[in-house]
Amino acid sequence: MDSSTGDLPTLPGLLAAPAPGWVETTDVIVVGSGVAGLTAALHLREAGLHVTVVTKVNIDDGSTRWAQGGIAAVLDPHDSPAAHASDTEVAGVGLCDPAAVRVLVEEGPTRLRELMRIGAEFDRHPDGSLMLTREGGH
């Protein structure tokens, strides 16, 4: 910036970037290869669409694999959807959408089983049962 005139510098009209290295014809582009992106891609593919998933450098570089809390789903017979909803709303300090919380607690187990059906693997005890834990805010 020129301090004497107060003029702003001229910005380039086009960013310098290399030309695309490939061309793909597709019906849908899914950006992200985490649980949400891959689930969406699989459903779209089952619907007969050609799907392209765009991700970081490597397919497993996303954050899903590092999600330490697991997936929020009421599976323990000592838990309940009502208790789960209450915990979630308390942790959300008034910012939760009650309809979204209701979907979480009511559909969580079904969605978890769906993920397992399509190949997602979760930690299990030696007897094969899922490892469950109490997670703050779920």
List pLDDT tens digits, range 97-107: 999 999 988 99
Of residues 99 and 2, more confidently modeled: 99
DSSP string of 21-66, one letter each residue: S-----SEEEE--SHHHHHHHHHHHHTT--EEEE-SSSTT-SSGGG
Residue 126's pLDDT is 96
**Inter-axis angle of helices 81-91 and 98-117, nearest 10:** 120
List pLDDT tens digits, range 77-99: 888 999 889 988 898 898 999 99
Percent of the chain whose pLDDT exceeds 90: 30
Distance of CA 110 to the CA centre of its chain: 17
Q: What is the 3-state secondary structure (H, E, C) of 97-112?
A: CHHHHHHHHHHHHHHH
Q: Tokens 């929020």 belong to which residue?
A: 72
Query: Against a cut of 0.75, is the pTM above it?
Result: no
